Amino acid sequence: MRIFLFVLSIISLLLAAHQFALTEQTGQFKGALFLLLIGIQLLIAAALISQHREERASKLSMETNERENKESRG
């Protein structure tokens, strides 16, 4: 999921850069700004998903280690 979001954000940012280049002379940047904001939002969402998965994985490994320690002691 996070890789998909990263890919979408890169595509959106590239489209925004292209749109900025096309509209440089006219000064109408609404479409480019929209694509830029969408790309930034997708990057943030992907980073948050990645961070959440890492926290969950570390929490599960800590719980597993605690169980193994209790079993070895007990």
Gap between the Cα atoms of 27 and 25, Å rounded: 6
How confident is the model over 32-41, as pLDDT tens digits? Answer: 898 899 999 9
Average pLDDT over residues 24-48: 88
> Does the predicted model carry a pTM greater than 0.85?
no
Asked whether residue 63 carries a pLDDT value surpassing 80, the answer given is yes
pLDDT at 66: 83
Sequence ranges of the domains in the chain: 2-73
pLDDT at 5: 85
Q: Compute and round to an integer the Cα radius of gyration of the chain.
A: 21
Asked whether residue 69 carries a pLDDT value surpassing 70, the answer given is yes
Cβ neighbourhood burial of 31 (10 Å; 0-12, 13-18, 19+) = middle
